[in-house]
Structure 1
Amino acid sequence: MREWFSDASHLTWVLLAVHIILGAIAVAYISARRRPATAIAWMLTIIFIPYIGIVAFAMVGFSRLPKSRRDKQKFVNDLILERTEGFDQLSHKEDWPQGLPGLVTLNSTLGALPMVGGNDVELLPDYHGSIAAMAAAIDEAHSYVNVEFYILVADQATEPFFAALERAVQRGVTVRVLSDHLASLMNPGRKTTLARLEAMGAEYHAMLPLRPLKGQWSRIDLRNHRKLMVVDGQMGFSGSQNLVHESYNKKKNIARGLRWHELMMRTHGPAVRELDAVFVTDWYSETDELLILDTSPVVLNPAPHLVDVQVVPSGPSFENDNNLKLFVAMIHQATERVSITSPYFVPEDSVLLAMITAAGRGLSVELFVSEIGDQAMVYHAQRSYYEALLRAGVQIYLYKAPEVLHAKHFSIDSDVAVVGSSNMDVRSFSLNMEISVLIHSADFVDQLRIIEDGYRANSRELELADWVKRPVMEKFWDSVARLTSNLQ
């Protein structure tokens, strides 16, 4: 037998057989419950570089959290459904546009949270102004402050926030804090931040920790990307902004002069308890402590300016790509206009087709993205989609460097919008835990339009004639990056 294997031709046949078997397994297993583009990308990787490809797939090829965490999500979802029975009657359905009821039902089915009326929602487009607003809200806290941010760093910019947390703890307020473990490891100031939280007496836990020696491990790129804060169940904040200096304190960003431009939202009303339900779910997932869900009756203020709001959580703890389904449905429901702002735009095929189709239907379709990128692969991948969009009639605005437009919002027609943490890319659709907020309000969309006008004034509109003339090597790297974007 040893002599047989020592023969080079025999060894070649053995390796070929192993290769074929691996390819067959890849076809049968990888193609199950994956988008065709994703499955093909993984199969080609495993076939052409089998051993490296298998290791890569084992590390990052599964787009769902462990069953135990998904079971916790379902358990809390069931509690939420019991608690919110009849809440949908509190919204103003008689004023909804034709397509909105279907969107609301879709979101409720996937994420368990209803759309409720009686909310006051305010946009916070100023980076330091939103931090000041959150600090002021903390100073009004009497019972608890729940904080959940993908990146949370104590630095010069966030000092007002951390100082407010310290004052809250001193008053006897319970302060609970969650931040993503890997994001903390990758950003400067982690030790200082954790020491600050411990010293003040806040209850802190890392989300999706990567601590194999303690039995804590999951796919490394399944991350909790949510940004939210709730004070006493009465005031909530959500949006795109991480709690960190606008340069992220990274030397390369500072050297390039990069500054992040964000959009946060402050909410008063019944929807705040839905934001809190998302925090409760994540806290339970990380600590096994199930906080009490607010079950008190909701009393709506009949003031005409108050709006209907639905919180839409999504991510690998759910069985469906909640935000992807919402975004695609919204684009197809649009009858006049589609406006999308996304810092990382690597659309799933259904999103791309929906945008191209909307433009073909004669709708005004516009996309705001950054002129400059902080992540090379994503930056080149998203550029590969511009030509198809421009040829379809989509207007693309490149927000001028050195600011990075990191805001994430999406509106259709004149009265429906989404603001949240989700990018328009594969990572946010399938890999990251995100939170989006669906809003029905013409006044709110008008405010969003004013912010978009500011983007447009600070942007360069991309023209098809100029774009197709870009250097050949740029086109090459754009295409290469596009191919790798489906490896998830």
Structure 2
Amino acid sequence: MWEKLREVWSFITPDDFGFMFLGNIIADGMSWWQWLLVIADYLLKIIALGYVPSQRKPTSAMAWLLAIFLVPFVGIILFMLIGSPYINRRRHRIQNQANEMLRTISAEEPDVPAGHHLSPELTSLVSLNRRLTAMPASSGTVVDVHADYDGSIRAMADAVDRAAHYVNVQIYITAWDDTTDVFFRALERAVDRGVTVRLMFDHVGSWKYPGYRTLGRRLDEIGVRWLVMLPLQPWRWRFRRPDLRNHRKLVVIDGHTGFMGSQNMIDSSYLMKDNIKEGRHWVDNMVEMTGPVVTLLNSVFAVDWFTECGEEIELITPSESAEWLSHRRKGPGSEVVPDPGTDMLQIVPSGPGFTTEPNLRLFTSVVHHAKRSLTLVSPYFIPDEALLEAITTAAYRGVEVELFVSEKADQTLVEHAQSSYYAELLAAGIRIRRYPYPAVLHSKFIIADDEVVCTGSSNMDMRSFGLNYEVTLMSVEGTLLGRMAALASDYREASTELTTDVWDSRPWHRRYIDNLARLTSALQ
């Protein structure tokens, strides 16, 4: 029988590797377990063809199928571990319940707060965000945009020193070091005054940095209530897709003062020896604001706190904070906290708890809104098809588009993946400005026509769109636009422009690695 099969296979030269493999093992004779492996391999591939593309972008589906077909079994295992952006049902349920509660509470509120008059196009942006996240727009005052790294930490510490009721802190990477000590000492003083201090940081995001092993003990010693977000603790039955992260950065004091942006609570070198040796440091921004919008920012923290520990938080709003309204308390070296102002601000949370990718839809809509100018700032620029097409189309429409990135990214794979987009961006006429090494430009914002600005924790990459919990602040009326435009001007003066001639002269092996990295960016 085997001789006859050999004769048959001698006339067959199929291109498909799977059939070649099957022919060889049939010709050589197989044990039962070999048959089992072959059958299992083909069965898994057939199932993958029908399952992987479901509710997944075509590029992502093709990348996963390629991995599954090229590395059998290993590709399946990787897909099962990190192939789905969905979190467990409990977290989805909590987010949905929070959204419905917010919709019920704010049902009588208009999309645009009283006193603000927007064009129909800008109003549609506000309505989009509200429909996707249940967050209405609100009034507030942008006190400052803190672009000095150490100064930003001191500003947050000063605000904590004014706290009378509570301090809520949620920051992706948290480390107690010489730079951040001023902030943690402010938290300690707040606890001593009887203020409730809550702190959350991401488990995986923080654990690789010096001091993590003793961080919890030190927080306990000063009386801070702390939690890790999205913990990976299988011994406690707390396990999920390991690369889902809570990437939000926010601080709320008494419901009347809030900070949010791109900055983590760690030294600007991230405490790494190589960074310190080379002088590498992170460049960030944090927006300080007051007024009713802070209550909405606080609700983002409250949902995440409840999700991690099941405790409901009573939120004190500015109207309930007697110290803020009556006394306008002053902290050491600080200014008087201003009254609610006329900035129109909207909080836009996003992440696996939202199935509609609110940040991606917002950024894409803002790009389509641009008629004259578009400024994009992102340390990790790996757009999906919709955002890439929107950006290049804007340039072809005659919009002056500029993209700010780091001259050298802090992650090699990201560096190559985002570099793979430069050729088509340059071909469309987009100006790519690279912030000089050893700085890592970590700020994240977008400005269109000096009419709308978005800033926060969200990068313009597939991870932030589908895998990370993020929070973005949008403003279409007020002082934030001017402040962020001034910051972009500072970045422009410090940056060098990447030209087509320079980029086309890169070696062939760099092009190959860039394109290979681009494939991996879609594995989600």
Alignment TM class, shorter chain as reference: over 0.9
Give the corresponding residue for 2:5: none
Give the corresponding residue for 2:258: 236
The answer as to 2:380 corresponding to 1:358 is: no
Give the corresponding residue for 1:401: 437
The answer to whether the 8 A contact 1:345-1:425 is kept is yes
Give the corresponding residue for 1:22: 44
Partner Cα separation in structure 2 for residue 92 and residue 364 of structure 1: 33
Give the corresponding residue for 1:460: 496
What is the CA distance between 1:16 and its match in structure 2?
4.0
The answer to whether the 8 A contact 1:227-1:238 is kept is yes
The aligned amino acid for 2:269 is S
The answer to whether the 8 A contact 1:342-1:369 is kept is yes
Alignment of 1:8-19 (within 5 A): 8-10=28-30, 15-19=37-41
**CA deviation vs aligned residue, 1:224-252 (integer Å, no higher than 9, x gap):** 00000000000000000000000000112
The aligned amino acid for 1:331 is V
1:24/1:121 Cα in 2 relative to 1: closer, same or farther (>3 Å)?
farther
SS where residue 147 of structure 1 aligns?
A: strand
> Which of 164, 172, 188 is equivalent to 1:142?
164
What is the CA distance between 1:183 and its match in structure 2?
1.4
The aligned amino acid for 2:197 is V
Give the corresponding residue for 2:522: 486
What is the CA distance between 1:18 and its match in structure 2?
2.8
Partner Cα separation in structure 2 for residue 87 and residue 232 of structure 1: 23
> Which of 424, 429, 434 is equivalent to 1:388?
424
SS where residue 50 of structure 1 aligns?
A: coil
1:8/1:298 Cα in 2 relative to 1: closer, same or farther (>3 Å)?
farther
The aligned amino acid for 1:332 is H
Partner Cα separation in structure 1 for residue 308 and residue 302 of structure 2: 10
What is the CA distance between 1:103 and its match in structure 2?
1.2
**CA deviation vs aligned residue, 1:257-290 (integer Å, no higher than 9, x gap):** 2100001100101110011000000000000111
Tell me the TM-score normalised to structure 2 length.
0.88
The aligned amino acid for 2:354 is F
1:385/1:92 Cα in 2 relative to 1: closer, same or farther (>3 Å)?
farther
The answer to whether the 8 A contact 2:139-2:340 is kept is no
**CA deviation vs aligned residue, 1:14-64 (integer Å, no higher than 9, x gap):** 544333221111111111000000001001111111111011111101101
In the alignment, structure 2 segments of 5+ residues that lack a partner are 1-24, 326-337
The answer as to 2:246 corresponding to 1:224 is: yes
What is the CA distance between 1:455 and its match in structure 2?
0.7
Alignment of 1:14-93 (within 5 A): 15-88=37-110, 91=113
SS where residue 469 of structure 2 aligns?
A: strand
Deviates more, 1:327-336 or 1:161-170: 327-336
1:474/1:6 Cα in 2 relative to 1: closer, same or farther (>3 Å)?
closer
Partner Cα separation in structure 1 for residue 143 and residue 302 of structure 2: 22
Deviation >6 Å, runs of 4+: 295-300, 302-305
Deviates more, 1:249-258 or 1:141-150: 249-258
Partner Cα separation in structure 1 for residue 401 and residue 224 of structure 2: 45
What is the CA distance between 1:7 and its match in structure 2?
8.1
Give the corresponding residue for 1:255: 277
Question: Superposition RMSD on alpha carbons, in Å?
Answer: 2.2
Alignment of 1:22-421 (within 5 A): 22-88=44-110, 91=113, 95-293=117-315, 306-421=342-457
**CA deviation vs aligned residue, 1:60-80 (integer Å, no higher than 9, x gap):** 011011011110111111222
Larger Rg: 2
Partner Cα separation in structure 1 for residue 188 and residue 359 of structure 2: 35
1:371/1:328 Cα in 2 relative to 1: closer, same or farther (>3 Å)?
same
Partner Cα separation in structure 2 for residue 444 and residue 424 of structure 1: 20
The percentage of aligned residue pairs carrying the same residue is: 42
SS where residue 110 of structure 2 aligns?
A: helix
Count of matched residue pairs: 484
In the alignment, structure 1 segments of 5+ residues that lack a partner are none
Deviates more, 1:152-161 or 1:435-444: 435-444
The answer to whether the 8 A contact 1:416-1:441 is kept is yes
Partner Cα separation in structure 2 for residue 7 and residue 283 of structure 1: 61
The answer to whether the 8 A contact 2:383-2:461 is kept is yes
Deviates more, 1:85-94 or 1:456-465: 85-94
